[in-house]
Amino acid sequence: MKKLISIIGSDDSDKNLSTYALETAEEIGGLIAQKNGILICGGGGGVMEAACKGAKEKNGITVGILPKSKEEVNKYVDIPIISGLGNRRNSIIVYTSDVIIAIAGRWGTLNEISYSMIYNKPLILIKGTGGIVDQICNKELEKINDSKNYYFVNSATEAIEKAIKLIEN
């Protein structure tokens, strides 16, 4: 079965979302497709849309698990799953994925990160992308508990290498 890799991060309402974060998301999306993985995301704008765009440019398959309706979907999603659960759909994104990769983000992303830890899913955080991800990379959440199942990387390439390694183990 193909591997399911999710990308989580800021949507397009985040004013601090940087071009670097978006480029990184797009690059990762492409790399997931090239590695024959399926991209899972929340189906919206910002980081999600950039990742889906990257995956489609490399002929990947993209799945968007949406809050409420098909109207919310970005144009690079192949398979929109309409949860009807609002932001509570975050849990399904995380629970479905073999590995989670986080870029930038605010409270919604922190919600998904907390689900990753609750379900003990491997989480990869890309340093330098801003938002909550950089706060965590700066060790600010280090003391929450003794979870060891998250990893800091410096680039899209490092992230995909780490993701593949985690899945194969």
- Name every residue whose Cβ is closer than 8 Å to that of residue 137 and which is 6 or more positions away in sequence: 125, 127, 152
- Name every residue whose Cβ is closer than 8 Å to that of residue 59 and which is 6 or more positions away in sequence: 33
Length of the chain: 169
Residues 52-81 that bind a copy of itself (CB under 8 A): 61, 63, 65, 73, 77-81
Asked if 68 contacts 44 with a C-beta cutoff of 8 angstroms, the reply is no
Residue 109 CB, nearest approach to a copy of itself (Å): 9
**Per CB under 8 A, does 84 bind a copy of itself?**
yes
Range in contact with a copy of itself (rule: CB under 8 A) among 27-35, 41-49, 50-58, 144-152: 144-152
Please tell me whether residue 5 adopts helix, strand or coil conformation.
strand
Question: Which of residues 19, 59, 71, 143 is near a copy of itself by CB under 8 A?
Answer: 143
Edge-to-edge strand ranges of the sheet holding 38-41: 79-82, 61-66, 38-41, 4-9, 99-103, 123-126, 150-153
In whole angstroms, give the CA distance from residue 161 to residue 53: 20
- Considering beta carbons, is residue 27 or 98 the nearer one to a copy of itself? 98
- Considering beta carbons, is residue 19 or 146 the nearer one to a copy of itself? 146
Question: Which of residues 36, 57, 58, 147 is near a copy of itself by CB under 8 A?
Answer: 147
Q: Which residues bind a copy of itself (CB under 8 A)?
A: 1-2, 4, 14, 38, 61, 63, 65, 73, 77-88, 91-92, 95-96, 106-108, 110-111, 114-115, 117-119, 131-132, 135, 140-141, 143-145, 147
